[in-house]
Amino acid sequence: MQLYLLRHADAVPHNENDAARELTEKGHEQSKRAGRFCKKNGIAPEIILSSPLRRAEQTARFAATEMNAEVTIANFLASGMDPETGIAELRSYAKNSSVMIVGHEPDFSRLAAQLLGLPSNERIHLRKSSLTLIDVKQLRAGGGTLEFSLPASLM
């Protein structure tokens, strides 16, 4: 499986309800840029899964619009996901050759580190609106290979 991790774009810093935090104008543009980058480079995931939190869902929908794709909300991607849960939930999508997930830090750094077989206290810093591709041969710790990780500024 080609697993694309798209971290949510720039969002307002605080809100009484964290789940309702929305993207800033910069975040809107970052999301669209990510979608245009994917389309231009032939990145067409079979399914795009998004955290239900507003900033992630907006990121996913803006990017998906640019790619002419649809978004499915996946509650397991909500902020606070541990790597083991992420891997277990992704097994439901193993029939897909390419999956994009849109979510949060530090969840994505920890998931990426686990898939790459790094020690449990290690993580990879994924910037806002970055796009990371892990070629997952097996959905288990150490079952993936990092193909690339691009910050929004390079897309």
Of the listed ranges 9-18, 55-64, 76-85, 93-102, the least confidently predicted one is: 9-18
- CA-wise closest residue to 136 among 81, 77, 75, 95: 95
Q: What is the pLDDT of residues 27-75, one digit of tens each?
A: 999 999 999 999 999 999 999 999 999 999 999 999 999 999 999 999 9
Supply the pLDDT for residue 17. Answer: 82
Q: Look at the chain and count its residues.
A: 155
Q: Is residue 104 pLDDT above 90, yes or no?
A: yes
Q: Is residue 15 pLDDT above 90, yes or no?
A: no
* Average pLDDT score over the chain: 95
Distance CA 150, CA 16 (A): 31
> What number of other Cβ atoms are within 10 A of residue 89's Cβ?
17
CATH topology for 2-123+137-148 is Rossmann fold (3.40.50)
Domain ranges of the chain: 2-123+137-148
Element (H, E) at 36: helix 25-40
